[in-house]
Amino acid sequence: MQSKILGTGAAIPDGILTNQDIEKIIDTSDEWIRTRSGVVERHISDKDTPSSVLAKEAAEKAMEMAGISADQLDAILVASVTPDHSFPSTACILQDKLGARKITAFDLSAGCTGFIYGVAQADALIRSNNAKFVLVVGVEELTKVTDWTDRSSCFLFGDGAGAAILGPSEDDKSGILATYTASDGSLGGLLYQPAGGSSRPASHYSVDHHMSTILMRGNEVFKHAVRQMEEAALKALELSGVSKEELDWLIPHQANIRIIDFLARRLKLPLDQVVVSIDKHGNTSAASIPLAFDLAVRDGRIKRGQNVVMVAFGAGFTWGSVMIRW
């Protein structure tokens, strides 16, 4: 049995922070941010809107497109590094908010690759007959863990959620053709949140010393991202049997426009076959791929029968890919 994506949804907070706003916070320029990262503006949530609120909105839109109701869900997977709390999981909070049955619900932490990991798990649950309909959400409120004094990273991040409903494929024309996930924990220190977990519980010291926020060695991460995203994309082609020539769309993790350009060139895809939303959303980690995917599905760019590869890289390090025929 094959699984397929039956519906997508997205949610972004109303608040917008432009590069001109960032110029007032750190020593930078709109021009530098655009050319080095591709970000023009990012959405920012308020203190009364935790991740589960965005997740719920995205999930409801995805269920509507899929034509299923919350009580038909068999599992809820939420990928996030900015959940509402360490526990309970945002997936459980979402289960309650959606009014779903007492089903499997858990969070997974795979950084910016979280949505890819989630889709791979949902696909496995469906193919092994352990679930019929699975909700996968990638949601982040990175602006709440951004170090606004760090000029080398704070301009990158944004908030948002994207969701997908996976279910069994009733024909062999569309579905998940391949999934691939990988990790290398030895490089975790290049992109992490130093304090707030059991290795260094939150304290006045850790907050005062900017240890509860994102710490990224951008340049180093960049080099690994380029390499591993190419590997993941090629793996998806190999596992699915889809050739570069048969590829219609690339949906990359929206980390940096220069990484996206590089990957498109390696796949021999012109930029008009690449879904880019980093200019509007910034880097929304686990939400970035489902957000971009939902945009391109709803505006009609991605058409039935087309081959779409999604490729991500993130904290962990983790990386992975999903090939679908839409």
| Minimum CB distance to ligand UT7 smaller for 160 or for 175 | 160
Residues between 152 and 181 that touch ligand UT7 (CB under 6 A): 152-153, 155-156
Q: Euclidean distance between the first and final Cα of the chain, in Å?
A: 16
Could you tell me the smallest distance in angstroms from the CB atom of residue 125 to ligand UT7? 26
Instruction: Provide the minimum distance between the beta carbon of 32 and ligand UT7 in the complex, in angstroms, as a whole number.
Output: 4
Chain centre distance of CA 33: 21
CA dist 83 and 74 (Å) reads: 21
Of all residues in this chain, which one has the CB nearest to ligand UT7 in the complex?
218
Residue 313 makes contact with ligand UT7 by CB under 6 A: yes
Q: Report the alpha-carbon distance of residue 266 to residue 247 in Å, rounded.
A: 12
Longest dimension (CA), the chain: 57
Considering only CA atoms, which of 66, 115, 35, 145 is closest in space to residue 285?
115
Q: Does 151 bind ligand UT7 (CB under 6 A)?
A: yes
Binding-site string for ligand UT7 from residue 192 to residue 221, where x marks contact by CB under 6 A and - marks none: --------------------------xx-x
Q: Closest approach of Cβ 276 to ligand UT7, in Å?
A: 14
Cis, bond preceding 194 (omega within 30 deg of 0): no
Output the six-digit token pair for 22.
């960032």
User: Is residue 103 within 8 Å of residue 120, measured between CB atoms?
Assistant: no
Of 308, 303, 312, 305, nearest to 323 (Cα)?
308
Tell me the C-alpha to C-alpha distance, in Å, between residue 56 and each of 194, 289, 305: 29, 17, 29
Sole binder of ligand UT7 in the list 23, 32, 34, 124 (CB under 6 A): 32
What single letter denotes the amino acid at residue 90? T
86 to 115, contacts with ligand UT7 by CB under 6 A? 112
Interacting residue with ligand UT7 among 2, 21, 23, 28 (CB under 6 A): 28
In the complex, minimum distance from the CB of residue 97 to ligand UT7, in angstroms, rounded to a whole number = 27
Which residues sit opposite 151 in a β-bridge?
Answer: none
Minimum separation from the CB atom of position 274 to ligand UT7 (A): 16
Distance CA 248, CA 296 (A): 12
User: Is residue 256 at the binding interface for ligand UT7, with CB under 6 A as the rule?
Assistant: yes
Q: Annotated catalytic sites, by residue?
A: 112, 253, 283
- Cβ proximity to ligand UT7, 62 vs 225, nearer residue: 225
Q: Find the binder of ligand UT7 among 106, 148, 192, 222 (CB under 6 A).
A: 222
121 binds ligand UT7 (CB under 6 A): no
Residue 213: CB minimum distance to ligand UT7, A = 15
Task: Name the residue nearer to ligand UT7 (CB basis): 11 or 289.
Answer: 289
Amino acid at 275: V
Q: Beta-strand (E) ranges in the chain?
A: 3-11, 15-18, 41-44, 75-79, 104-108, 134-141, 159-168, 175-183, 191-192, 215-216, 249-252, 307-314, 318-325
Candidate list 164, 225, 264, 323; residue touching ligand UT7; CB under 6 A:
225
> Quick check: 37 binds ligand UT7 (CB under 6 A)?
yes
How many residues touch ligand UT7 under the rule CB under 6 A: the total is 22
Task: Give residues in contact with ligand UT7 (CB under 6 A).
Answer: 26, 28, 32, 36-37, 112, 151-153, 155-156, 218-219, 221-222, 225, 255-256, 259, 283, 313-314
